[in-house]
Amino acid sequence: MTSLINLESERDALVELIMELAESAAATEVDIADGTIDPLSEANTTEQMLAKFEELETAIANKVDAIAAVIAAQKGEIDYLKARRDRFNKAIEVKTKALEKFESYLKIIVTTRPNSSIKGKTATIKVVNNGGKQPLWIDPTIDAKDFPPELVTIVTTFKVDSNTVRLKLAASGDNEFSVGGKVVAALQPRGTHLRIN
């Protein structure tokens, strides 16, 4: 199948040839008058070139329409896929929220059981403590600069170094850190999550 560029190149070459013929028409008229060129063969050549030009113009128009149709089809397919993606994302969001709600309900049920667990034949559902760093409450009414220096990381502003506070609390065995009789930081209960084995 001929490409659009090749069709246009062929048409442009034909246009140049027709222009050359038009420029040499005056010389041809002289040759026709003295009988050296047959006017019928010259007319046939011009008609053939014009017919070929029309054929090329039609082929170019058809090619452009085909390209436009392919692009429109691709855009339509992309829009269709985007719509499907949006429907899938919405369905995922709905299912995720429903599952979170069910797990919250299940967590309440399991928490009321002895050992915070329910055993099945092949699975056990438990409420267990979350891993990672234990949540730490730091009094938001006290500026970080007012904390003891060893508990503060100095950057461009004061920031309580929660890791150091946790280490101090772990070393002391206390759950609260007090300064001048006022509690400035306290370990909070760990969150929980379901584990299904």
Better pLDDT: 42 or 44: 44
Of the pLDDT bands very low, low, confident and very high (cuts 50, 70, 90), residue 28 is low
Better pLDDT: 12 or 80: 80
Which tokens in the block code for residue 76?
């339509």
Percent of the chain with pLDDT over 70: 85
- Residue extents of the structural domains in the chain: 4-91, 125-196
How far apart (Å, rounded) are the C-alpha atoms in residues 59 and 9?
A: 12
Percent of the chain with pLDDT over 90: 29
Instruction: Give the lowest-confidence range in 7-16, 115-124, 164-173, 186-195.
Output: 7-16
How far apart (Å, rounded) are the C-alpha atoms in residues 161 and 164?
A: 5
Answer for the pair 125, 118: CB distance below 8 angstroms, yes or no. yes
Instruction: Give the lowest-confidence range in 9-13, 64-68, 107-111, 153-157.
Output: 153-157
pTM of the model: 0.45
| pLDDT at residue 70 in the model | 84
Q: Which residue has the tokens 């990672």?
A: 132
